[in-house]
Amino acid sequence: MKNTAVVFNIQRYSIHDGPGIRTVVFLKGCPLNCLWCSNPESQNKKPQVIYTSNTCIGCGACLKVCKYEAVALKNDKIQFYMDRCTSCGECLEVCCTNSMEIVGKTMTVDEVIYEIEKDKQFYSNSEGGVTFSGGEPILHSEFLHSIVPKLKEKGIHVAIETTGYGEWEEFFKVVKDMDLILFDLKEMNSEKHDKYTGVHNQLIIENAKKISKIKETIFRLPVIPGYNDEIENFKQVVTLLKELDHECSVHLLPYHTYGKEKYKKLGKKYNLPEVESPSKEDMQKIANIFEKSDIKASIV
């Protein structure tokens, strides 16, 4: 079994990604390309160099060491070309302002467990645990096959946040040993789902129906004004959850712009520059749609 994965963040003291106080391990790589993605650094499975232009002093040291012409001097400013970069890291060695950094580190199962166990006291006191997120964690199936049993042997509650996009057999192999599934539902209309995320949602909905009958599942719905916030979309989610014939709950996640600067550092275009976060009143109206159908809804 492969015992490594590319980790781009380990977030401690999280209280919105499962019960209690949790450590969230973010794994790189995602089959979706959501317009509103707040972690664009998660989409590519490999480590990536990111560039912070406003701290760069233009010394040109990176120009001298880059063999792939990924950096150039243009109008007396350093221009970084992400598509040429191989993430060799040589520019990092010579950058005196740390304007270049690598996002994503290949870590072994034992290295990740070591980081997780630093927070074990918090799990015990709050009935918390670990959540694997991304990107899409199921892309690292062999790594999760290796690490999850070891965490559970240590008495650590394990959750996964997933897009649900994958063939059932492979998806089930990854999530069957999890204690909790945080399952994203982004848009119920398949054509719109394809337009907004790059994939249709038939697989996702089928996997949602199957896994929620087997494992404890909380459905997570991002709310993006002007995109998936139509009342009809949420009514269709209610219909789906009612079909499951067992008690379900949802987390409503209001759109935010926290990831905006990340796009600039990656040399990517930010897709929704005009979109603002939904108001508390609008979020509550959406929550009421679920509550009226006896589905517990939390705004997180």
Round to whole Å and give the CA distance between 258 and 241: 30
Which CATH topology does 48-102 take? Answer: Alpha-Beta Plaits (3.30.70)
Range of lowest pLDDT (19-23, 67-71, 202-206, 275-279): 67-71
- In degrees and rounded to multiples of 5, residue 267 shows phi and psi of 70, 25
Instruction: For residue range 157-214, list pLDDT tens digits in order.
Output: 999 999 999 999 999 999 999 999 999 999 999 999 999 999 999 999 999 999 999 9
The yes-or-no verdict on residue 53 having pLDDT over 60 is yes
Domain ranges within the chain, ordered by starting residue: 4-45+104-299, 48-102
Residues comprising the chain, all counted: 300
Structure tokens at 179: 């204690």
Structure tokens at 291: 């509550």
What is residue 16's DSSP assignment?
Answer: S
Side-chain-side CA neighbours of 114 within 13 Å: the count stands at 5
**What's the pTM?**
0.94
The yes-or-no verdict on residue 1 having pLDDT over 70 is no
Q: What percent of the chain has pLDDT above 90?
A: 92
Which of these CATH numbers, 3.20.20.70, 3.40.718.10, 1.20.200.10, 3.40.640.10, describes 4-45+104-299?
A: 3.20.20.70
The edge-to-edge listing of strands for the beta sheet with 249-254 is 105-108, 4-14, 22-27, 129-133, 157-162, 180-184, 217-223, 249-254, 296-299
Structure tokens at 166: 């994958």
Q: Which residues contact 271 (CB under 8 A, 6 or more apart)?
A: 35, 36
Angle at 24 between CA 22 and CA 29, to 5 degrees: 165
Is residue 212 within 8 Å of 248, Cβ to Cβ? yes
Round to whole Å and give the CA distance between 200 and 180: 25
